[in-house]
């Protein structure tokens, strides 16, 4: 239904320029307001970077609209023709339906490949081995025989590209796509013959000024999962070694940062999945990694998150591409729709910090190490369009109670806990170079 594409003031049918309209309960950031006014070349740099990005990922041919003619004597494939780069395929479905006295020369033209035919003919076909093939035959039967044996060979190495082939006979002219795509080599994990949970999942966390909470977390994990490996990224100023046979602790420069630590921890995972937890979480009977695992194994999701102390944390990400001035990004409370087959789970854009994810999928997105203090939604923003995310309220991790008396570590941690004005300005600069003009959130 049309209404499904209208969220609050975000109208995806408007096209062109976008905006973040202010209203009660909505935080709106006009990103250019946070940029360095003395940096006169910043817009030029972004335009240059956007042009390079589009060159790599945003092929115009891929977006080219193809509409099948309402009445044509030409049969042709409208979708599904795919060839690996520098490989050859037979083009299926080429045929003409016309009286023999009306037959004219047939032409095929490509831009990223060449044509040939393995039909046993000679005089009827001109242009073998070129990007323009001309077939001349007064016999419809012979013409269709040749068309059924036309081959297309990719002549350039493209990881992903689209060739729009022209197929013409007289005034009848159609176009169809040939996708040139290099499929990735499958990357498979061997979890062993018994497929133990510890051979499928690694737990990862980042710690800073909270060794007391970290030890409580580890103790709670060991109560339910005594053998699972835990990887810790640690950027404390006075490091303390965690003595546990199944703990790997990686020490970083002091206060290196939140996302730098997440990158380090996940980079050392050797299992198919990793479970992210904050260092002040606490496992309970409801913190079922097995439940997470079942969902990921039975769906095409990349990441599934749980609930923090019974509180759901789900948001939608809404994005408008906008125009040359940049796009608009909106974070809204709620979810997209329920996850089929799992009644306690919903599809979302932003979820909690308690999640199980495919290791390689998250590594492909990464965590921006420039975000060294408060950062959460930013990871999901970077993964938007690449990571398929769900959230389930029946998988719950506890949040450790805050101690009434503040320690020196608590006070030191608090100094780094919240963004200052400089940090907010830096964040807006990062969003600007994601080609955004504004950001709004609930």
pLDDT of residue 41: 93
In a domain, 301, yes or no: yes
Q: Are residues 201 and 318 in the same domain?
A: yes
Band of the pLDDT at 1, cuts 50, 70, 90?
A: very low
Q: Are residues 340 and 427 in the same domain?
A: yes
In a domain, 395, yes or no: yes
> Each residue of 347-386: pLDDT tens digit?
999 999 999 999 999 999 999 999 887 788 999 999 999 9
Q: Which of 181, 216, 242 is the last residue of a domain?
A: 181
Q: Are residues 174 and 260 in the same domain?
A: no
Q: Are residues 308 and 207 in the same domain?
A: yes
Q: Are residues 172 and 203 in the same domain?
A: no
Q: Which of 136, 156, 181 is the last residue of a domain?
A: 181
Residue 295 · residue 283 · CB < 8 Å: no
Mean pLDDT of the chain: 90
Distance CA 174, CA 368 (A): 46
Distance CA 175, CA 153 (A): 17
pLDDT of residue 365: 96
> Each residue of 260-296: pLDDT tens digit?
999 999 999 999 999 999 999 999 999 999 999 999 9
Mean pLDDT, residues 54-82 taken together: 80
HSE-up of residue 434 (Cα within 13 Å, Cβ side): 21
Query: What pTM was estimated for this model as a whole?
Result: 0.87
Q: Are residues 211 and 170 in the same domain?
A: no
Q: Residue 88's CB: how many other CB atoms inside 10 A?
A: 14
> Each residue of 6-21: pLDDT tens digit?
455 566 665 678 999 8
pLDDT of residue 186: 87
Higher pLDDT, 417 or 305: 305
In a domain, 45, yes or no: no
> Each residue of 319-333: pLDDT tens digit?
998 888 899 999 999
pLDDT of residue 364: 96
Residue 225 · residue 198 · CB < 8 Å: yes
Q: What percent of the chain has pLDDT over 70?
A: 92
- Strand 150-154, strand 201-207: pairing: unpaired
In a domain, 74, yes or no: no
Distance CA 167, CA 410 (A): 71
State whether the Cα torsion 227-235-368-27 is positive or negative.
positive
Q: What is the CATH number of the domain that holds 377?
A: 3.90.550.10
Q: Are residues 437 and 342 in the same domain?
A: yes
DSSP H or E run through 73: none
Q: Are residues 277 and 368 in the same domain?
A: yes
Range of the domain at 96: 85-181
Residue 317 · residue 331 · CB < 8 Å: yes
Number of domains observed in the structure of the chain: 2
In a domain, 3, yes or no: no
pLDDT of residue 13: 64
pLDDT of residue 60: 62
Which stretches does DSSP call E strand in 150-302? 150-154, 160-169, 172-181, 201-207, 230-234, 247-251, 273-276, 281-282
What is the distance, to the nearest Å, from the Cα of residue 143 to the centroid of all Cα atoms in its chain?
A: 45
Mean pLDDT, residues 293-306 taken together: 96
In a domain, 61, yes or no: no
Q: What is the CATH number of the domain that holds 177?
A: 2.60.40
Q: Are residues 368 and 412 in the same domain?
A: yes
In a domain, 21, yes or no: no
pLDDT of residue 419: 67
Q: Are residues 251 and 225 in the same domain?
A: yes
Q: What is the dihedral of CA 352, 356, 360, 364, to 10 degrees?
A: 0
Q: Are residues 170 and 206 in the same domain?
A: no
Band of the pLDDT at 442, cuts 50, 70, 90?
A: confident
pLDDT of residue 5: 45
Distance CA 176, CA 68 (A): 9
Q: Which of 181, 214, 246 is the last residue of a domain?
A: 181
> Each residue of 178-202: pLDDT tens digit?
999 999 888 888 888 888 999 999 9
Closest C-alpha among 306, 293, 279, 308 to residue 220: 279
* DSSP string over 319-387: EEEEETTEEEEEEEES-SEEPTT-TTEEEESB--S-EEEEHHHHHHH---TT--SS-SHHHHHHHTTT-
Q: Are residues 383 and 247 in the same domain?
A: yes
In a domain, 14, yes or no: no
């Amino acid at each position: 239904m049309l209404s499904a594409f209208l969220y609050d003031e975000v109208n995806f049918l408007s096209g062109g320029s976008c905006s973040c309209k202010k209203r009660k309960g909505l935080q709106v950031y006009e990103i250019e307001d946070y940029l360095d006014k003395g940096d006169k070349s910043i817009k030029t740099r972004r335009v240059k970077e956007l042009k390079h990005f589009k060159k790599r990922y945003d092929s115009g041919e891929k977006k080219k609209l193809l509409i099948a003619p309402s009445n044509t004597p030409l049969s042709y494939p409208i979708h599904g023709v795919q060839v690996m780069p520098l490989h050859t395929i037979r083009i299926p479905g080429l045929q003409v339906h016309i009286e023999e006295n009306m037959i004219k020369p047939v032409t095929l033209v490509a831009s990223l490949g060449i044509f040939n035919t393995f039909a046993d003919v000679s005089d009827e076909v001109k242009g073998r081995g070129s990007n323009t093939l001309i077939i001349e035959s007064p016999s419809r039967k012979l013409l269709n025989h040749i068309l059924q044996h036309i081959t297309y060979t990719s002549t350039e190495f493209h990881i992903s590209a689209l060739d729009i082939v022209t197929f013409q006979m007289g005034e009848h002219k159609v176009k169809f796509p040939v996708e040139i795509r290099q499929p990735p080599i499958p990357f498979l994990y061997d979890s062993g013959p018994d497929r133990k949970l510890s051979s499928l999942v690694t737990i990862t966390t980042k710690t800073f000024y909270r060794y007391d909470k970290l030890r409580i977390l580890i103790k709670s994990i060991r109560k339910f999962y005594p053998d699972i490996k835990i990887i810790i990224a640690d950027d404390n100023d006075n490091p303390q070694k965690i003595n546990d046979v199944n703990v790997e602790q990686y020490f970083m420069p002091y206060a290196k940062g939140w996302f730098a630590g997440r990158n380090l921890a996940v980079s050392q995972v050797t299992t198919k999945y990793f479970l992210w937890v904050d260092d002040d979480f606490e496992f309970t009977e409801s913190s079922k990694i097995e439940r997470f695992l079942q969902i990921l194994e039975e769906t095409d999701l990349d990441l599934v998150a749980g609930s923090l102390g019974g509180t759901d944390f789900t948001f939608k990400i809404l994005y408008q591409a906008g125009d040359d001035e940049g796009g608009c990004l909106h974070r809204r409370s709620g979810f997209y729709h329920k996850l089929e087959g799992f009644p306690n789970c919903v599809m979302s854009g932003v979820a909690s910090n308690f999640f199980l994810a495919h290791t390689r999928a998250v590594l492909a997105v990464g965590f921006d190490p420039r975000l060294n203090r408060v950062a959460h939604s930013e990871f999901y923003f970077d993964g938007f369009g690449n990571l398929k995310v769900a959230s389930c309220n029946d998988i719950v991790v506890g949040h450790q109670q805050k101690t009434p008396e503040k320690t020196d570590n608590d006070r030191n941690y608090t100094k780094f806990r919240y963004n200052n004005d400089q940090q907010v300005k830096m964040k807006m600069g990062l969003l600007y170079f994601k080609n955004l003009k504004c950001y709004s959130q609930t």
